[in-house]
Structure 1
Amino acid sequence: MTPDSLSRRQLLTLTGSAAAAAALASLSLTGCSDRYKLRCQHQRTGEVYRELNIEIGSVITHSWIHSIELSRWTDIYRFDGETLMLTSTEFEAYGAGMPLDEGDVSVQDGQVVIENIDREFEAIRWIHSHRVDYRIGVDGDESLIDTDALPDLEPLELRPK
């Protein structure tokens, strides 16, 4: 068992608080927080277009212009260490094909917001299109993945590793 595979509690139990604090400090300095990645990749070929560092609790947003409503739809996920948990979704108009029976629905600043969805996904999958203004954000930064540089009309995914 290596220090980076132990939880904080296990480390404290095995080594005592002073040694644990020193070990945790050294893990922080060696980049242990970078061990989780979010990959933007092709669903079939696995070709990786971008890989980003994420942490437990990172918020990933995936948004686009809806083809019928012609307004932005945003799904918000939280990384839990293994999967992406869909926590909420936001859109302008509620219509056919919209979720009905999950989460708590409210209207905030003119947007329909469904919160407390809490549905797990191993990956976020979509057919990428340059015509719908896709945006991908990690912890509020939408500049990390240039969606215009991603291949058009191809099956892509965001997958934690």
Structure 2
Amino acid sequence: MMSKLASNKGHRLLSAGVVVLSIASAFFIFFWRQNVTEVSTKEGLCYFTEPEFQLRWIHSVEKQSWEEWYQNKTTHLLLTKTYFKAFGAGTPSTEQLETKDKPGFIGYRINRDFTQLNWVVSRLTKGEILYGGHDLLIYQWVPDYSEVVIAPKSYSVIDILKKDYCHDYLSGRTQ
């Protein structure tokens, strides 16, 4: 008689555990969100989870390197600073100088919000996205003069399973 009671109690505990695990799994699948930065083009889209990234390219007129540093703030992208090698038209010159020295570059603190970035890249300007030690050579991924949209997003587990990490498109070096 005791073993039958213990057996029933064990089955009830196991059933309760399965129910709790099922509820927790459903909650995780449908309600958990991961903040990501999404990179989309006509050719496809990918994402990365690192909260900071840089855009790097060769300026089309001055033929010098430029870098913009961004942070994903969940609802917007924050341009925190910019570095460039030469002054030209449109160069920010009224902003506060960046104190972290980057040899050969001039840097400014910017702190400007964007809901998304619409960036046109070409092989001539060699546009790259750098994040978490990775270098996505976007100019090799898309045809010349393609628009790339970079935006903060929130992905569910199902979104993550259906979409690619930008790591899958890396053709550049990793640091």
The equivalent of 1:41 in structure 2 is 40
The equivalent of 1:4 in structure 2 is none
Moved over 4 A (4+): 30-34
The equivalent of 2:139 in structure 1 is 147
Distance 2:32 2:135 in 1: 21
**1:90-109 Cα distance to aligned partner (Å, 9 max, x none):** 11012332012223256641
Give unpaired runs (5+ residues) of structure 1: 1-25
State the superposition RMSD in angstroms.
2.7
**1:76-123 Cα distance to aligned partner (Å, 9 max, x none):** 1011121110000011012332012223256641210112x1100111
Distance 1:83 1:105 in 2: 22
Is the radius of gyration larger for structure 1 or structure 2?
A: 2
Q: Could you state the TM-score of these two structures normalised by the residue count of structure 1?
A: 0.66
Equivalent pairs, count: 126
Partners of 1:36 and 1:53 within 8 A in 2: no
Distance 1:33 1:140 in 2: 26
Partners of 1:91 and 1:111 within 8 A in 2: yes
**1:105-159 Cα distance to aligned partner (Å, 9 max, x none):** 56641210112x110011121222122111111233214x653021321222111
AA aligned opposite 2:34: R
Partners of 1:49 and 1:150 within 8 A in 2: no
Distance 2:35 2:102 in 1: 33
Q: Could you state the TM-score of these two structures normalised by the residue count of structure 2?
A: 0.61
Q: Does 1:114 align with 2:82?
A: no
2:49 pairs with one of 46, 54, 60: 54
Q: 1:134 to 1:33 in 2, by over 3 A?
A: farther
Partners of 1:39 and 1:49 within 8 A in 2: no
Residue 124 of structure 2: SS of its match in structure 1?
Answer: helix
Q: 1:139 to 1:150 in 2, by over 3 A?
A: same
